[in-house]
Amino acid sequence: MGKWKKTAGLIGAMLVAASMVMAGCGSKDTGKKETAAKSPAAAKEELIVGTEPSFAPFEFPDGKDGKIIGFDIDLINAIGKKMGYKKITIKSMGFDALIPAINSGNIDAAIAGMSITDARKKQVNFSDPYYDSGLMAIVRKDNDTIHSLADLKGKKIGVQLGTTGAMEAEKIEGAKVTNFDTSDLACIELQNGNVDAVISDLPVLQYFLKQKGSSYAKAVGEPKKGDHYGIAVAKDKKDVLDGINKAMKELKDSGEYQKIYDKWFSESK
Ligand code: GLN
């Protein structure tokens, strides 16, 4: 009898627990709908944002604890907060995995120094541009034959997979292009002498040269300007996109955007 009582008690407890879980989900859902009806800017739970964290100073691991920091991270945190999200979660993945993750619903948005391009615009929506960028080439310091992009014909070029730098390299006649998972890896291969040049984003290579890269690398030729970074969002999440644009405008108007910009791009950096 005692055993039966125990089992019955256990089943009872399980039923109570299950109904609590169900009630929890239910009340959470209703709660969300109610707040949404009252005010669209009211507290939302979580904004999940994808990035590829080897792109300093936009997104990269902090030397101390490996936490992802950078201009993009500060910007999206400020945007998410303005939009009323309680929590902003950063998810790391390969650069070429970001757009598929947006479209499968794994992430709500991506901020990754991602250039707004016509090809990408077919797959996702972009926020208003938040940073003007461009492309640049670097070679080893001791290289005295490559002086411009034109000199890269037939050379070995390292790039990051799925980026505008990779597309640019593919256009160069006879170039042997090697795709790496990150720009950092492409730079290491330049140091090792396995590639003659790296093509990547202007602000990222400039930061790299300032930080440590100038010990073995130098910039060549004129940068190719005219690129703009945008935050990518799924085509069917118009509300998220509108919220991002509205928050970004407010941050620009209030001077908060400028503060974040200065933190990462001041002369002393
Ligand atoms: N801006 C480049 C692009 O969009 C590179 C971005 C990156 O490597 N994170 O392709």
Instruction: Give the angle subtended at the CA of 234 by the CAs of 118 and 50, to the nearest 5°.
Output: 95
Residue 159's pLDDT band (boundaries 50, 70, 90)? very high
Residue 37's pLDDT band (boundaries 50, 70, 90)? very low
For the four alpha carbons of 67, 115, 164 and 150, in that order, the dihedral sign comes to: negative
Q: What's the pLDDT at 55? A: 96
- For residue 80, the number of C-alpha atoms closer than 13 Å in the C-beta half-sphere is 23
Does the N-terminal peptide bond of residue 53 adopt cis geometry, omega within 30 degrees of 0?
Answer: no
| Ligand 1 atom closest to the CA of 120, numbered from 1 | 4
Ligand 1: distance of its center to the CA of 115 in Å? 6
Ligand 1: distance of its center to the CA of 5 in Å? 64
Residue 143's pLDDT band (boundaries 50, 70, 90)? very high
| Ligand 1 atom closest to the CA of 114, numbered from 1 | 4
Using most ligand atoms within 8 A of CB, pick from 59, 160, 206 the residue to mutate for ligand 1. Answer: 160
Which range among 13-27, 165-179, 224-238 shows the weakest confidence by mean pLDDT?
13-27
d(CA 189, CA 191): 5
Residue 12 has pLDDT above 90, yes or no: no
Which range among 29-33, 87-91, 110-114 shows the weakest confidence by mean pLDDT?
29-33
Check: CB of residue 196 under 8 Å from CB of residue 141: no
Does the beta carbon of 115 lie inside 6 Å of ligand 1?
yes
Does the beta carbon of 257 lie inside 6 Å of ligand 1?
no
Does the beta carbon of 179 lie inside 6 Å of ligand 1?
no
Q: Which residues contact 260 (CB under 8 A, 6 or more apart)?
A: 71, 74, 75, 78, 251
